[in-house]
Chains A and B, each alone.
Chain A
Amino acid sequence: MTAIQQQSGAEILLRALRDQGVEVIFGYPGGAVLPIYDAIYQQNSIRHILVRHEQAAVHAAEGYARSTGKVGVVLVTSGPGATNAVTGLVDALMDSIPVVCLTGQVPTHLIGNDAFQEADTTGITRAATKQNYLVRQSEDLARTVHEAFHIARSGRPGPVLIDLPKDILIAPAPYQPASAEPHRSYRPVTEPDPSRIKEAVRLLKSAKRPIVYSGGGVINAGDAASAALVEFVRVTGMPCTSTLMGLGAYPSNDPQFLGMLGMHGTYEANNAMHGCDVMLNIGARFDDRVTGRLNAFSPDSRKIHADIDPSSINKNVVVDVPIIGDAGLVMQALLAAWHADDTRQDREGLASWWRQIDAWRAVDSLKFTQNPAPGSIIKPQHAIRRLYEITRETGRDTFISTEVGQHQMWAAQHFRFDKPNRWMTSGGLGTMGYGLPAAAGVQIAHPDALVIDVAGEASILMNIQEMATLAQYRLPVKVFILNNQYMGMVRQWQELLHGSRYSESYSEALPDFVKLADAFHGVGLRATSVDDLDRVIREMIAIDRPVIADICVDQKENCFPMIPSGAAHNEMILGPEHQDRAAAVTDEGLMLV
């Protein structure tokens, strides 16, 4: 050894992470990563959060990333540690969340031998990551870590995995700082084509019935992108709708906001999408939850689509003006071009379009009836509305995560977000079990904020072990369960599409959530009737510890409005009175999920 003590691979790894600005790792130890855990033990600058399941480590990193704009970091062992992480990786891939996942691997000389806890991790995760690496040589280690962070956070963000054989972690390795050189082959385009921007502005100015449809890409592009979106919508006077993933980029309480669009979107948002003549899609991907039946989607509009990922453009829907670029840069360019272009905007057309939209709005498609009499059963929508109103009264910075199901959609419809990065939900993959670990990740990043997981009684059991993580790190996350004793979303589809045959969707043998909270060193609360609700919400918020609030809600409530699968935007079921429309769903529609 030379005069300078050479560092081990594990130490070099941590040094590279520090240089990348990493402050927190979510992980779970095991044989293959013991050298890393040993190095973690001997330093203080990176904090390790011990989760209770590797899937939760990835969701926690997603929550951390989504709420901060930073890269979330995961550390798990080989074999089962890596395979447990796969769901989280696909979740991050689908929702474009920047995550770097470090997995242990058996030593290089044993790879391919079916060694103990060996899995072909790079093989298994190839379709679950934006990019993955197996580090075979110590001299590649530091460079690979820097490259992984660059790829995870740039372009369309996503999960990147680095598989680390144990011998590489133990052997001495050289350090290289992050290179300023651009990547050899990977060069995402961020600057939009100016001629396309001009074309888009001309189209938008001549529009009689324009709409802005914004998505998660705007959130990913940072606060400046959301600010530019807001300014553009205000300057142009256009209506704006958002996907599930985009909520918060445009303030929900603003009169120009039409609410969420898509399968459970508002009547005005979906009708405006259907009837518009020019559509500006910024950072959304024409997902099937949004478009409904493709051949009936917004039939009379010219479409402008801006996305950082060229493969999102013309994938599902043919567009007229494709723009490749970063959502923030695109919005800023559109705004500048809007001011520079001297074509007159069709303000008269826009005014009559707004009259039409206001008529749709008057339908009040999110309405529900809550019986206020003491002892009445709680409507789930009412529970979310009150949660929103009471948290707003407190004035605290509030972050909401969700599980997957009806409660998720009700939260999207009735909780109003006015800032980006406050809403964490599994949109693309729809992963039950996402919300609790994601909330833990958010709370780690924002220790003083109010962090609430809006959950269903079925979903919450998928990662309930994370209550122990909350207890260990004193994370005062609130789990707000809309307990309808059903896998409500499954039950709703069975009611509407399968003759009310509730096959396996009843939540039998539920735990007592109040006692469960207690067992996990938290506080359990329960509301069984409408007069309990406000008190329970206030108490939940006031308690500075993990809380499970078991909100017993109407078991048979359905989530409306709804565009049944295979239907068009203007074939919406507004409420129970239109439920028979689902009977018209074709076999082709039945095949869709």
Chain B
Amino acid sequence: MSDETPHPAAAPTFSSREAAALPRRSATISVLVENESGVLARVIGLFAGRGYNIDSLTVASVDAGGSRSRINIVTSGSDMVIEQIKAQLTRLVPVYRIAELSQEGPHLARELAMVKVISDGANRAEALRLAEAFRARVIDATVESFVFELTGGTQKLDSFIELLRPIGLAEVSRTGVAAIARGTRMLSSKH
């Protein structure tokens, strides 16, 4: 990922014995995998089987031939647990490369939400005003309802949805987080 590639055998060190007890943090991890059947099940099974959290998971093929997919996972845990997650992912046979975007430098994380609001009168007008303030698009409208489309960071989506809750929020569909590093850094396979 970076120019100064570490020795492939360099495992992370923990500065202190108390590392295990460090507070939980969130981590955004991108995984480049061979697009073979069962690979997503293997990744999800790893998280379920070892008791790791999945706060968000997205997957889609990302190369021209459709032979490689990128999985973006938002998870949380202590430093030691997150290092474990990364090591466990790395050793899966169909995994090419993993990177913890939230650790390796500045990165962008976005998700998309479609939000249905059913309301009338003042609430309907208020919902439209909020959508404008958040730069959400109206992608469907009937006399009783709107569907808004909003893209952005998780927190922005969360707060938009929270504000709509008292004024007719009916249904939410979200994609989960897609993430990428800023600048020239890439999650490409070294092989």
Q: A116-153, CB under 8 A of B: which get 1 and which 0?
A: 00000011001100111010000000000000000100
Which of the 9-residue segments B3-11, B111-119, B126-134, B177-185 touches chain A? Answer: B3-11
Q: A131-B93, A184-B191 are in contact. Are A311 and B33 (CB under 8 A)?
A: no
Q: Is A321 an interface residue (CB 8 A)?
A: yes
Q: A130-B93, A310-B91, A314-B84 are in contact. Are A185 and B9 (CB under 8 A)?
A: no
Q: A123-B41, A310-B90, A314-B83 are in contact. Are A184 and B10 (CB under 8 A)?
A: no
Which residues of chain A in 299-318 are interfacial with respect to chain B, using CB atoms and an 8 Å cutoff? 309-311, 313-315, 318
A318 touches B94 (CB 8 A): no
B38 touches A126 (CB 8 A): yes
Cα–Cα distance between A126 and B42 once the two chains are bound (Å): 7
Q: A122-B38, A127-B49 are in contact. Are A318 and B93 (CB under 8 A)?
A: no
B88 touches A185 (CB 8 A): no
Known contacts A185-B93, A314-B11, A321-B13; 11 further A-B pairs (Cβ under 8 A):
A123-B41, A130-B93, A132-B38, A134-B38, A193-B7, A193-B9, A310-B91, A311-B84, A311-B88, A314-B87, A318-B20
Which of the 9-residue segments A74-82, A228-236, A322-330 touches chain B? Answer: A322-330
Residues of A near any B CB (own CB < 8 A): 122-123, 126-127, 130-132, 134, 151, 155-156, 182-187, 189, 191-196, 309-311, 313-315, 318-325
Chain B residues with CB below 8 A from A194, complex form = 7
Q: How far is the CB of A188 from chain B (nearest CB, A)?
A: 8
Q: B1-25, CB under 8 A of A: which get 1 and which 0?
A: 0000001111111101101100000
Say which residue of A315, A319, A320, A324 sits within 8 Å of B10 (CB atoms). A324
Cα–Cα distance between A184 and B93 once the two chains are bound (Å): 9
Q: How far is the CB of B98 from chain A (nearest CB, A)?
A: 11
Chain B residues with CB below 8 A from A322, complex form = 11-13
A127 touches B45 (CB 8 A): yes
Cα–Cα distance between A187 and B189 once the two chains are bound (Å): 11
Chain A residues with CB below 8 A from B80, complex form = 314, 318
Q: How far is the CB of A531 from chain B (nearest CB, A)?
A: 53
Q: Is B96 an interface residue (CB 8 A)?
A: yes
Q: Is B29 an interface residue (CB 8 A)?
A: no
Chain B residues with CB below 8 A from A192, complex form = 9
Residues of B near any A CB (own CB < 8 A): 7-14, 16-17, 19-20, 33-34, 37-38, 41-42, 45, 49, 80, 83-84, 87-88, 90-91, 93-96, 189, 191
B34 touches A185 (CB 8 A): yes
A324 touches B11 (CB 8 A): yes
Chain B residues with CB below 8 A from A184, complex form = 34, 96, 191
In the complex, the chain A residue whose C-beta lies closest to that of B37 is: A134
Residue among A183, A184, A195, A325 with the highest chain B CB neighbour number at 10 A: A184
A324 touches B9 (CB 8 A): yes
Cα–Cα distance between A318 and B84 once the two chains are bound (Å): 11
A186 touches B93 (CB 8 A): yes
Residue among A123, A194, A322 with the highest chain B CB neighbour number at 10 A: A322
Say which residue of A123, A131, A314 sits within 8 Å of B14 (CB atoms). A314
Chain A residues with CB below 8 A from B10, complex form = 193, 196, 324
Q: A310-B91, A311-B84 are in contact. Are A185 and B11 (CB under 8 A)?
A: no
Say which residue of B14, B37, B45, B96 sits within 8 Å of A185 (CB atoms). B96
Number of A-B residue pairs at CB separation under 8 A? 89
Say which residue of A130, A189, A320, A325 sits within 8 Å of B13 (CB atoms). A320
Cα–Cα distance between A309 and B41 once the two chains are bound (Å): 21
Cα–Cα distance between A500 and B45 once the two chains are bound (Å): 40
> Can you list the 6 inter-chain pairs with the closest CB atoms, starting with the nearest?
A322-B11, A311-B87, A324-B9, A131-B93, A193-B7, A193-B9
Q: How far is the CB of B65 from chain A (nearest CB, A)?
A: 12
Cα–Cα distance between A131 and B42 once the two chains are bound (Å): 9
Say which residue of B42, B45, B87, B95 sits within 8 Å of A310 (CB atoms). B87
Chain B residues with CB below 8 A from A186, complex form = 93-94
Say which residue of A187, A191, A318, A324 sits within 8 Å of B19 (CB atoms). A318
A325 touches B17 (CB 8 A): no
Chain B residues with CB below 8 A from A319, complex form = 13-14
Cα–Cα distance between A322 and B19 once the two chains are bound (Å): 15
Q: List 17 A-B contacts (CB under 8 A).
A: A126-B41, A126-B45, A127-B45, A134-B38, A185-B94, A189-B9, A193-B7, A309-B87, A310-B11, A310-B87, A311-B88, A313-B87, A314-B11, A314-B83, A318-B17, A318-B80, A322-B12
In the complex, the chain B residue whose C-beta lies closest to that of A187 is: B191
Cα–Cα distance between A156 and B90 once the two chains are bound (Å): 13
B9 touches A325 (CB 8 A): yes
Cα–Cα distance between A521 and B33 once the two chains are bound (Å): 53
A311 touches B91 (CB 8 A): yes
Q: How far is the CB of A45 from chain B (nearest CB, A)?
A: 29
Cα–Cα distance between A155 and B95 once the two chains are bound (Å): 14
Q: How far is the CB of A193 from chain B (nearest CB, A)?
A: 4
Cα–Cα distance between A290 and B38 once the two chains are bound (Å): 34
Q: How far is the CB of B40 from chain A (nearest CB, A)?
A: 11
Cα–Cα distance between A151 and B12 once the two chains are bound (Å): 25
Cα–Cα distance between A189 and B9 once the two chains are bound (Å): 6
Chain B residues with CB below 8 A from A324, complex form = 8-11
Chain A residues with CB below 8 A from B11, complex form = 310, 313-314, 322-324
